[in-house]
């Protein structure tokens, strides 16, 4: 399948061959992850060849991202998505949901017992996201899930004094740390924008705007447009923090700046496109991250320290997010420089990340640019790469699930 023509003087998002490539790659990804649905309604993770990996605890972000991804694919007209959506929502309600204390457990064992009973804002944001997308896809249980997780976020995570979300609690809602972080709040923007699109309830839009105001309009310009990731309880930057190497690595994470830049454009579009402050800030945030982290041999370094590359590891998800961000900038302003970057990122993905034999994307590369299994085993996620395929297919900056039905 042809990725696109280098000598095409237009924009690939308008090109029929490129758009066919996007839908084909999305379909191949769905085929890989559709097979991970187990008979008991849970999900395995696929190995490189698609064979289910040995069972382990099912984490909340795995369940929710599967629901979101297949619901979004259904909105874009892909077939055979309902079984995954049904199973995922059932698993959320009957396995992850804490019927005693409320909220959703971070991970559950195959027998349904808690493996990690922590209540994390990060995971709850993906519950909100998948509920909203499932509602767009017409699932009958989406409203119940959406209402429940919204009430949990309001009651336990939202800090009105700061206009931001706290991060983590024990099962009984006692806090087990004073950590505050950008990552959960950034995904909160994503989830709240999706919830606004699905319901029209302006409270979701306003809350997303509060988070953007803090990170994009206050913290980014105060820190040379490199977003601090980690904070203390009173939301002061904690530059020495180093946590989980995947979810909370030390330093700054350029991929998150790229992601939040795109979401800032989505919020600006939904809020009525008032002024040009938001799109200028979004572009500054995205381009600074690309300038800092894009490696000469392609792909993005994972983290920075004091603006310099700290961890050079190359993962699939920053490339996926950069594709979505450049597509958004192209929709906003048909800039040939943005198009050149969009093509560069897709060419790198096709050469190094997309599995030509089995479908799906390899999650990480070694220094030679070959697939590796250091941080990740198998193909752990469909969410980032599927959105890289689907978001460029719609012409607008927001309401992708609604517009997907007419995107060809």
Which letter, b or e, does each residue of 168-206 get, where b requires 16 or more Cβ atoms within 10 Å of its Cβ?
bbebeeeeeeebbbbbbbbbbbbbbbbbbbbbeeeebbe
* DSSP structure class, residue 175: B
Distance, CA of 290 to CA of 116 (rounded, Å): 35
Tokens 């609690």 -> residue = 169
- 3-class secondary-structure state, position 157: helix
CA distance 54 to 299: 30
Quick one: pLDDT at residue 408? 85
The answer to whether the CB of 162 falls within 8 A of the CB of 112 is no
Residues of the chain below pLDDT 70: none
Token pair listed for 10: 């237009």
Residue carrying the six token digits 């020495």? 240
Other beta carbons less than 10 A from residue 335's beta carbon: 14
Beta bridge partner(s), residue 46: 52
Domain ranges (residues) in the chain: 12-406
Q: Which 3 state secondary structure label does DSSP give 8?
A: coil
What is the pLDDT at residue 7? 78
Q: How far is CA 43 from CA 55, 74, 125, 297, 354, in A?
A: 9, 19, 19, 35, 22
DSSP string covering 196-259, please? Answer: HHHH--HHHHHHHHHHHIIIIIIIHHHTTT----EE-TTS-B-TT----TTTS-SSB-HHHHHH
> What is the predicted pLDDT for the residue at 175?
95
Q: Report the pLDDT value the prediction gives residue 18, as an integer from 0 to 100.
A: 97
Overall residue count recorded for the chain in this entry:
408
Give the pLDDT confidence score for residue 246 in this predicted structure.
82
pLDDT at 5: 78
Rounded CA-CA distance 204/189 in Å is 9
pLDDT at 247: 82
Which residues lie below 8 Å from residue 13, measured CB to CB, with a gap of 6+?
Answer: 19, 327, 330, 331, 342, 392, 393
3-state secondary structure of 371: strand
Task: Return the CATH class of domain 12-406.
Answer: mainly alpha
Which residues are catalytic, by number? 256, 384
289 vs 307: CA distance, rounded Å? 9
For the chain, helix (H) and strand (E) counts, in that order, are: 14, 12
pLDDT given for residue 129 in this prediction: 98
Buried b (16+ CB within 10 A) or exposed e, 279-300: bebbbbbbbbbbebbbeeebbb
Supply the pLDDT for residue 6. Answer: 77
* Total-model pTM: 0.98
Run of H or E including 19: helix 16-34
HSE toward the beta carbon, residue 24, CA cutoff 13 A: 14
Q: What distance lies between CA 214 and its chain's CA centroid?
A: 20
């Amino acid at each position: 399948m042809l990725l696109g023509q280098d000598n095409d003087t237009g924009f690939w998002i308008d090109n029929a061959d490129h758009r066919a490539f996007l839908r084909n790659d999305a379909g191949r990804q769905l085929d890989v992850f559709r097979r991970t649905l187990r008979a008991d309604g849970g999900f395995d993770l696929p190995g490189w060849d698609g064979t289910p990996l040995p069972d382990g605890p099912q984490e909340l972000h795995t369940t929710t991202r599967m629901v979101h991804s297949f619901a979004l694919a259904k909105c874009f007209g892909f077939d055979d998505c309902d079984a995954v959506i049904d199973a995922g929502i059932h698993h959320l309600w009957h396995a992850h949901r804490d019927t005693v204390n409320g909220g959703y457990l971070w991970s559950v064992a195959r027998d349904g017992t808690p493996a990690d009973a922590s209540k994390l804002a990060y995971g709850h944001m993906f519950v909100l996201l998948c509920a909203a997308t499932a509602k767009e896809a017409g699932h009958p249980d989406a409203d119940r899930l959406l209402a429940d997780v919204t009430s949990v976020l309001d009651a336990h995570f939202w800090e009105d004094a700061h206009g931001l979300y706290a991060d983590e609690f024990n099962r009984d809602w006692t806090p087990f740390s004073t950590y505050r972080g950008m990552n959960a709040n950034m995904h909160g923007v994503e989830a709240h924008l999706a919830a606004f699109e699905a319901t029209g309830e302006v409270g979701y839009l306003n809350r997303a705007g509060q988070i953007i105001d803090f990170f994009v309009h206050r913290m980014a310009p105060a820190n040379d447009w490199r977003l601090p990731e980690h904070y203390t309880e009173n939301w002061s930057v904690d530059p020495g923090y180093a946590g989980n190497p995947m979810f909370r690595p030390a330093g700054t994470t350029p991929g998150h700046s790229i992601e939040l830049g795109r979401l800032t454009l989505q919020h600006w579009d939904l809020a009525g496109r008032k002024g040009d402050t938001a799109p200028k800030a979004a572009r500054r945030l995205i381009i600074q991250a690309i300038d800092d982290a894009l490696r000469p041999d392609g792909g993005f370094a994972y983290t920075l320290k004091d603006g310099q590359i700290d961890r050079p590891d190359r993962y699939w998800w920053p490339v996926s997010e950069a594709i979505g961000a450049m597509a958004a900038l192209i929709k906003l302003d048909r800039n040939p420089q943005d198009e050149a970057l969009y093509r560069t990122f897709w060419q790198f993905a096709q050469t190094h990340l997309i599995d030509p034999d089995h479908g799906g994307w390899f999650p990480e590369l070694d220094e030679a640019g070959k697939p590796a299994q250091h941080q990740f085993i198998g193909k752990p996620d469909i969410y980032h790469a599927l959105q890289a395929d689907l978001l460029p297919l719609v012409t607008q900056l927001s309401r992708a699930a609604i517009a997907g039905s007419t995107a060809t």
